[in-house]
């Protein structure tokens, strides 16, 4: 059974006129969050996995490298 890719609940995102924003409240401290400006591609990936998707589907739509990179940064997570 292949793994799925999903957006952790502490990660939020928003499309902007120029790319998008990713807000990461991973540490869950008071007002203690990280904000990243991201490309259109990252926003598209996040929109694609609005519901958890099988990894092969996401990697086929974008690329394994993009998915690995976003997992490494904590923007995406893998699950069963």
Partner 1 sequence: MASEPLSAPVTITWEVTLGCNLHCDHCLSGSGPGHQMPGELSTEEAKSFIDELDEMDVFQVNIGGGEPFVRPDMLELLAELTSRDISTCVSTNGTQLDEATLDRVEAMDPLFLQVSMDGLRAENDAIRGEGVYDQVLDSLERLEDRDIGTTVNTVVTRQNVADLPDIYDLAEAHGAGLRLNRFRPSGRGEDTWDEFRLTEDQIRFLHGWLEDHPDVRTGDSFFYLNALGEVRNDTLKQCGAGSLTCLVDPVGDVFPCAFTQWDHLASGNVVEDGFQAAWDEIANLRSQIDDHEGCPAVAMGSSDPDGEDPQLRAILSGD
Q: Which is nearer to partner 1, 7 or 66 (CB)?
A: 7
The least CB distance from residue 25 to partner 1, in Å, is 5
Cβ closer to partner 1: 12 or 53?
Answer: 12
Contact residues for partner 1 (CB under 8 A)? Answer: 9-10, 12, 14, 16-18, 21, 23, 25, 28-37
| Nearer residue to partner 1 within complex by CB, 21 or 71 | 21
Between the alpha carbon of residue 21 and those of residues 2, 3, 6, 39, the distances in Å are 29, 26, 17, 8
Q: Is 32 exposed, middle or buried (0-12, 13-18, 19+ CB in 10 A)?
A: exposed
């Amino acid at each position: 059974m292949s793994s799925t890719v999903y957006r952790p609940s502490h990660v939020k995102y928003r499309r902007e006129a120029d790319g998008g924003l990713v807000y990461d409240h991973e540490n869950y401290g008071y007002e203690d969050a990280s904000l990243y400006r991201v490309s259109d591609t990252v926003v598209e990936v996040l929109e694609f996995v609005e519901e958890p998707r099988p990894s092969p589907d996401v990697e086929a739509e974008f690329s394994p490298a993009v998915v690995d990179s976003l997992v490494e940064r904590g923007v995406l997570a893998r699950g069963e």
